[in-house]
Amino acid sequence: RWEEEKAADGVKWTQLEHRGPYFAPLYEPLPEGVRFYYDGNPLKLSLATEEIATFYAKMLNHEYTTKEIFQKNFFHDWRKEMTSEEQEIIQDLDKCDFSEIHKYFVDQSEARKALPKEEKQKLKEEADKIQEEYGYCILDGHREKIGNFKTEPPGLFRGRGNHPKMGMLKKRIMPEDVVINCSRDSKIPEPPEGHKWKEVRFDNTVTWLASWTENIQNTLKYIMLNPSSKLKGEKDWQKYEVARRLKDVVHKIRAQYRADWKSKEMKKRQRAVALYFIDKLALRAGNEKEEGETADTVGCCSLRVEHIKLHPELDGQEHVVEFDFLGKDSIRYYNKVSVEKLVFKNLQRFVKNKDPTDDLFDKLNTNFLNKHLQNLMDGLTAKVFRTYNASITLQEQLKALTNPEDNIGGKLLSYNRANRAVAVLCNHQRTVPKTFAKSMEILQAKIDAKKKQVEEAQQEVKKAEDEFEDTKDAKAEVNVEKKKKLLKRLEEQLARLEVQATDKEENKQIALGTSKLNYLDPRISIAWCKKFGVPIEKIYNKTQREKFAWAIAMANEDFEF
Which pLDDT band, with edges at 50, 70 and 90, does 467 fall under? confident
Task: Reply yes or no on whether the pLDDT at 382 is more than 90.
Answer: no
**Could you report the per-residue pLDDT of 419-429, keeping only the tens digit for each?**
888 887 776 66
What residue spans in the chain does CATH classification 1.10.10.41 cover? 36-117
CATH 1.20.1740.10 fits 36-117, yes or no: no
Give me the CATH topology for the region 232-380.
Answer: Topoisomerase I; Chain A, domain 3 (3.90.15)
3-state secondary structure of 72: helix
Q: Could you tell me the CATH superfamily of domain 16-23+119-229?
A: DNA Topoisomerase I, domain 2 (2.170.11.10)
Q: ∠ at Cα 428 (427, 430), nearest 5°?
A: 125
Residues 327-362: tens digit of each pLDDT: 887 778 888 989 999 999 999 999 999 999 999 999
Q: Is the pTM of this model over 0.75?
A: no
In 10 A of CB 9, how many CB atoms? 6
In whole angstroms, what is the distance from residue 462 CA to residue 483 CA?
A: 9
Tens digits of residue pLDDT in 41-63: 999 999 999 999 999 999 998 88
Using alpha carbons, select from 97, 91, 70, 95 the residue that is nearest to residue 79.
91
DSSP per residue over 175-193, as a string?
GGGPEEE--TTS-PPPPPT
CATH 1.10.132.10 placement within the chain? 391-554
CATH 1.10.150.120 fits 391-554, yes or no: no
Three-state DSSP string of 219-248: CEEEECECCCCHHHHHHHHHHHHHHHHHHH
Q: CA 182, CA 180: separation in Å to the nearest integer?
A: 7
**What confidence tens digit (pLDDT) does each residue in 95-139 have?**
999 999 999 999 999 999 999 999 999 999 999 999 999 999 999
Listing DSSP states for 489-512 in one string gives HHHHHHHHHHHHHHHHHHHTTB-H
Residues 6+ positions from 402 with CB-CB distance below 8 Å: 411, 414, 415, 528, 532
Mean pLDDT of 397-421: 91
Could you give the 3-state DSSP secondary structure of residue 169? strand
Query: What residue ranges of the chain are covered by domains with CATH 2.170.11.10?
Result: 16-23+119-229
Stretch 58-72: mean pLDDT: 92
- List every span in the chain annotated with CATH 3.90.15.10: 232-380
Give catalytic residue positions: 519
DSSP type of residue 307: G
